[in-house]
Amino acid sequence: MTDPTKPKNNRRSAIAAIVAGALAVLTPLGVGIASFLTPLFKTKKSPKVRVALLSQVPDDGMPRSFPVVADRQDAWTGYEAQRIGAVYLVRNPGEAEPIAFTAKCPHAGCLVGYTPGDTVFKCPCHTSSFNLDGTRVRGDEEVSPRGMDTLPVELKKLSGDGDIEITEIHVEYIDYQTGHAEKHSTA
Ligand code: FES
């Protein structure tokens, strides 16, 4: 007499083998796809970048422009030491620390210009003007919805030769969204 349970056991074993086989194939595939797509979902960080020496920014209230150079990462490719933007540093009389403005216009992202000796920053794209403290010259009549964006500044003292003290200026280069009255990072 044949054992009535035998065909069932065979079927169960076959199903278990199929499931195990599928897992063996799909698990590494899933891990591979996840690691391939991960760069797309990474949040952008705002790099902290050394932009100048304090000695390059006298406390005369005049803006000085400096490039922002940092490593840049596109979805799957990294680029070393790329120019990612520019800042204006303004050190007012008697102040130890400068104010940093990103040169990116808050209206639509053009590079705001400054002519040495001038009393305002000017954006060449749609004529917004900003005072040297970053506020809009004509307030709400300017096409830019807000004043120039300030960036966090950090001074780092390095030990120099003898009595010479070297201080570096670092900024956190935050990329702000354009077109809004409020500051929102794009990160
Ligand atoms: S981008 Fe500067 S005013 Fe439009």
Q: What is the mean pLDDT of the chain?
A: 87
**Would you kindly state where each structural domain of the chain is located, as residue ranges?**
1-42, 48-172
180 near 146, Cβ under 8 Å? yes
- Residue 163's pLDDT band (boundaries 50, 70, 90)? confident
Strands (DSSP E) along 4-98, which ranges? Answer: 48-53, 64-73, 78-90
- The arithmetic mean of pLDDT across residues 29-35, rounded, is 57
- The arithmetic mean of pLDDT across residues 123-133, rounded, is 98
Rounded Cα distance, 130 and 122, in Å: 6
Atom 1 in ligand 1: residue holding the nearest Cα: 108
Residue 73: per-residue pLDDT: 82
- Residue 160's pLDDT band (boundaries 50, 70, 90)? low
Residue 77: per-residue pLDDT: 87
- Rounded alpha-carbon distances, angstroms, from residue 109 to 112, 141, 148: 9, 18, 11
- The arithmetic mean of pLDDT across residues 56-78, rounded, is 92
Q: Which residues line ligand 1 (CB under 6 A)?
A: 105, 107-108, 110, 123, 125-126, 128, 143-144
Ligand 1 atom nearest to CA at 128: 3
- The arithmetic mean of pLDDT across residues 28-40, rounded, is 56
Best probe residue, ligand 1, of 129, 144, 148, 177 (max atoms within 8 Å of C-beta): 144
Q: Determine the topology of domain 48-172 in CATH.
A: Rieske Iron-sulfur Protein (2.102.10)
- Residue 72's pLDDT band (boundaries 50, 70, 90)? confident
Best probe residue, ligand 1, of 142, 143, 149 (max atoms within 8 Å of C-beta): 143
